[in-house]
Structure formats: structure tokens, C-alpha cells
A and B are shown apart, each in its own frame.
Chain A
Amino acid sequence: MMHVSMHVRVNHPPKELEIPGPKRVREVLRELGLIPEAYLVIRNDELVTEDEILRDTDIIDIRPVISGG
């Protein structure tokens, strides 16, 4: 059994978790309670849109884009 492994960097230190695929980016964000407007989802170094399907072998990086300044 393989996994989508997600590196969620919402807070410091970075949180890492595994979510079983296939699943759309939109659904993964919803499951994690994250608003699409505040994050970028990067799959294996490439930016993906919310309708993209993530699979078990993908390495996913969810990067917050909001800064406090």
C-alpha cells in the first residue's frame, strides 16, 4: 500500500502526514480544513490547480501564501 505523503507547512515546525489517494487537490484541502485562496499546492515540484487528481506516489507540498506584515 502506497501513500500520498503531504508536507503541510501551516505552522512551524512543519507537519507531515499521509493521506490515501487518489483524491482531488480540492478534497485534500477541504479534509485538512484549509482555504484554497490561502495556499498553493505543489506536486513533485510543480504547481497544481484544485481539480488535479493526486495519486498515492505523489509528494505534495502545501505552502501557505499569507504573510502577517
Chain B
Amino acid sequence: MRCRKCPTRAVIKIPRHHTAFCGPCLTEFVRTQVQRAIKTERMFTPDDRILVAVSGGKDSLTLWEILLALGYRADALYVDLGIGGYSARSREKVEQFAQQFAEPRQARLLVHQIKEEEGAGIRELADLVRRPTCSACGTIKRYHFNRVALANQYDVMATGHNLDDEAARLLGNVLRWQEDYLHKQGPNLPASVEGFAKKVKPLYRLTEREIAAYALVNRIDYIVEECPMAKGSKMLLYKDVLNRLETESPGTKQTFYWRFLERQANQTSTAPSMQDTDRTVLQPCRLCGQPTTADTCMYCKMMARAKSALV
């Protein structure tokens, strides 16, 4: 099979766009999609300072590489969860990447270590507060990204969520008709209230497979191994179902998520905006000042419980 843009052999077929690319043309395609996402969703400008949430996986490292290649001012934050060998290996990938791609462009890697700062690894913490590991992990990661972004005056936080992530999450929410969650599913979540950093997802136009191929072609060495806690997750099931549909009928994932975004965009004129709803329900946490619906935020509550169990 030939590349559709030049006479070279193709390395990937992209059925949803009826096309196929060689390595360099894939690179161009992926970067163009990211640039389009940034522009059409008004995510940020070349003057903005961006904080990328990196895990060592393909999506977040690829996102960081692309932003740097496109000339954006992007630093990154890695949260070391303290999950034995997995955390050690993923951290090594992130540090290698930072040395190879970020340092030459004067971009910085920030690291937060849960074990050192919170007193125990994420699995132990979750046990102490009797919550599922992934839900405790989500709370802690969100908290620190927001805290670091605000403390260092970043204009925007970027995550590596891709089309598969967003379509799978949408499917999960729709299956349970969790309409409250639907309005928080866009690729651009504005800084709704004082104390919340703006959040964007510049990879939402690209599938996991396209991103993995980009990483491979551009020699981005990421951790292929999964976090051991992800085993048997609902997300994996939804992604599998969507990929079966995608194989039979290319474009399914894109249509499902993008049409949802279009509907959402059309509705915003009548429905109260997320900013307005948030402003009425959120207030600063009594202990840390981050916005919360209660008087103490989830993170502070969790840490208070963990501390009393730790002593």
C-alpha cells in the first residue's frame, strides 16, 4: 500500500479518513489535527504557558512532543504514584523523554511524589481511606495538577485524552444516562471559577492507534505496560466494544463523540453554562482553598482520614 500523499510505502491505514500515510506524512497529519484542535476549540495561543500532565504512556508523551514541535511553551508534571516497579519504570520513561526532547527546548519537567509528600503510595492511601484505588488516584492527580498549575501561573493544563478515551467515557455516561457528567466532557473546560485552572485535551481528534503509530515513527519511547490497577476496568470494555464497531464501520467513534460535541455546542445558548452552574455551587475549601461543593474538598477530607489512620 502506498502513502496517499507521496510515493513512499504506507505504514498506517486510516480507514475513517479513507487514507494511508508513510511515517513523515503521518507525522504531518497528526500535528495538523492537534493544531486544528487547538485553534478551533481556542485552547491556547503561542504566548500561553501550558502544563502537560504526563504519565509515561504514549498519549501524554506524544502530546508533550507535539506541543514542543509546534513551538508552544509546554512544561510537564509527572505524579509518581508509588506503585512499585510500574511507577519506577514509567518515571524513567518520562525522565528520559524530558532529557531528549524537552531540555533542548528549555522545557521543564516537574515531579510530585505521593509517597514522599502524602506519606504512602496510592494503593496504601486508598486502602486507608477505604476507596477504590482509581478513584483515590483520580482525586489526588486532579488536585495536584490544579495546585501546581495555579501555583506556577500556568495559563492552561493539557491532558493526553484521545478520541478513544472520550468516546468510551461518553458511552459509559450514556449507558447510565449520567447527564450531569455529560456537560463536563468537552475538549476545552474553561477556568470556570477562581481556583480552577483551564483544562484542554488537544488529542481529542486522534485515535489511540494513530497516536501510538506517531510515537513509534517519531521514536518516542513510552511505557507499553499498563498500570496494574487498570486491569478489568470498564473503560477497557467500552473501548473494545467501540473498536469492534469501528472495524466494521470506520468512523463510528469519531461520529459518536464529535456529533455529541456539536449538539452540546448548539445547546449552550439555552442551557445555563458550566461556568454559571459551577459559580453557584462551588466555594473555596476551608483547608486548601481549592474550589469544592462542600466546605472541605475531597482531597483534604481524604488526606485527613489517611493521616489519622497513619499515626
State the A residues within 8 Å of B (CB): 9, 12, 35-40, 42, 46-52, 63-69
Contacts and interface: CB of A to CB of B under 8 A. Distances in A.
Nearest to A47: B11
Nearest to A46: B11
Contact of B235 (A9, A46, A49, A68): A68
B227 A40 contact: no
A38 B216 CA distance: 15
B182 to A, nearest CB: 20
Contacts, number: 75
Nearest to B26: A47
Contact of A36 (B23, B58, B247): B247
A32 to B, nearest CB: 14
Interface of B: 1, 10-13, 20, 23, 55, 57-59, 164-165, 207-209, 211-213, 216-217, 224-227, 230-231, 233, 235-236, 239-240, 243-244, 246-247
B13 A50 contact: yes
B12 A47 contact: yes
B134 to A, nearest CB: 9
Contacts of A35: 240, 243-244, 247
A15 B240 CA distance: 20
B235 A69 contact: yes
B212 A65 contact: yes
B230 A67 contact: yes
Given A47-B11, A47-B23, A38 B243 contact: yes
Contacts of B209: 37-40, 65
A49 B226 contact: no
B17 to A, nearest CB: 14
A67 B57 CA distance: 9
Contacts of B11: 46-49
A67 B208 contact: yes
Nearest to B217: A47
Nearest to A36: B247
Contacts of B235: 68-69
Contact of B13 (A9, A12, A49, A63): A49
B57 A40 contact: no
A69 B57 contact: yes
28 contacts: A35-B247, A37-B207, A37-B209, A37-B243, A38-B243, A46-B11, A47-B12, A47-B23, A47-B217, A48-B11, A51-B13, A52-B1, A63-B212, A64-B224, A65-B211, A66-B208, A66-B239, A66-B243, A67-B58, A67-B59, A67-B208, A67-B226, A68-B227, A68-B231, A68-B236, A69-B57, A69-B165, A69-B227
